[in-house]
Amino acid sequence: MKCAKCQTENRQDSKFCLNCGESLVIVVPVDEGVRRSPLANKRYAQGKNPTLAGILSFLVVGLGQVYNGDFLKGIVMFVMAVVLFVPTTGLSYFPMLAWSIVDAYRVAKGNQSLWK
């Protein structure tokens, strides 16, 4: 997909231009005028370091989400990890940790949207 601002060729699934950071939201013409694609309703983290987000989530489940601006998701992940720790004798912590790290990295990279 080509950026309208700087004409850089980006991957087809990119949400932002790799060169200038411009949003690559597709505008779809319709009879009544112009409307945005369904992707326009989603919010994405901008200017976040994916590696730092992953490291923060490794240190504390949900901290990478808070860094990305996804406060609700970060709190939910942290509470779930704490609440499920005792009844599962700690076994639930590792899947929660993995989910937190991968999610924080993907959201910071722009491959996944923030929770509304």
Res. 1: pLDDT tops 80: no
Q: Which of the 8 DSSP states describes residue 23? A: B
Q: Is 17 helix (H, G, I), strand (E, B) or coil?
A: coil
Look at residue 23 in the predicted model and tell me its pLDDT. Answer: 79
Helices (H), 8-92: 50-59, 63-68, 71-85
Distance CA 49, CA 53 (A): 6
With both helix axes pointing from N to C terminus, report the angle between 93-109 and 71-85 in degrees, rounded to the nearest 10: 170
The predicted model gives 2-14 an average pLDDT of 78
Average pLDDT, the chain: 81
DSSP type of residue 21: -
- Check residue 4 and give its pLDDT: 76
Distance CA 76, CA 61 (A): 10
% the chain with pLDDT above 70: 84
